[in-house]
């Protein structure tokens, strides 16, 4: 299915992938469509064009696009969430036994 076909078939409650690209870095998330008008797709307080999935009223260094939430995109979002979650943990708060289990499943980089 092409992007335009996918956009034209969206309904309220459908999942969409929101990809925010910034000059430095970006964020991708999976959200639900709240409602649709003849020309717009509304997700939360953000409006997108039905014609191409681009956010309305954004310029400058940021581009926000809507895309089909394929399994590959869902996996990328989950990986980013898990990575941020694990990075933010204070590992010394966990018992040694658990840390040993974590170590046993993590492949360490050479020299680490």
What's the pTM?
Answer: 0.73
How far apart (Å, rounded) are the C-alpha atoms in residues 12 and 36? 7
pLDDT tens-digit readout, 43-96: 999 999 998 888 998 777 778 888 899 999 899 889 888 888 888 889 899 999
Q: Report the half-sphere exposure of 59 (CA within 13 A, side-chain side).
A: 1
**What one-character DSSP code corresponds to residue 41?**
E
Alpha helices in 62-108 (DSSP H): 71-87, 96-105
Can you give the residue ranges of every domain in the chain? 1-69, 71-107
């Amino acid at each position: 299915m092409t992007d335009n076909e996918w956009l034209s078939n969206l309904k309220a409650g459908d999942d969409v992938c929101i990809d925010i690209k910034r000059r430095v870095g970006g964020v991708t998330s999976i959200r639900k469509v709240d409602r649709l008008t003849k020309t717009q797709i509304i997700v939360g307080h953000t409006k997108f064009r039905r014609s191409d999935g681009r956010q309305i009223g954004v310029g400058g260094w940021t581009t926000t696009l809507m895309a089909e939430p394929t399994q590959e995109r869902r996996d990328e979002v989950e990986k980013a969430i898990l990575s941020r979650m694990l990075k933010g943990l204070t590992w010394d708060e966990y018992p040694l036994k658990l840390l040993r289990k974590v170590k046993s499943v993590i492949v360490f980089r050479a020299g680490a």
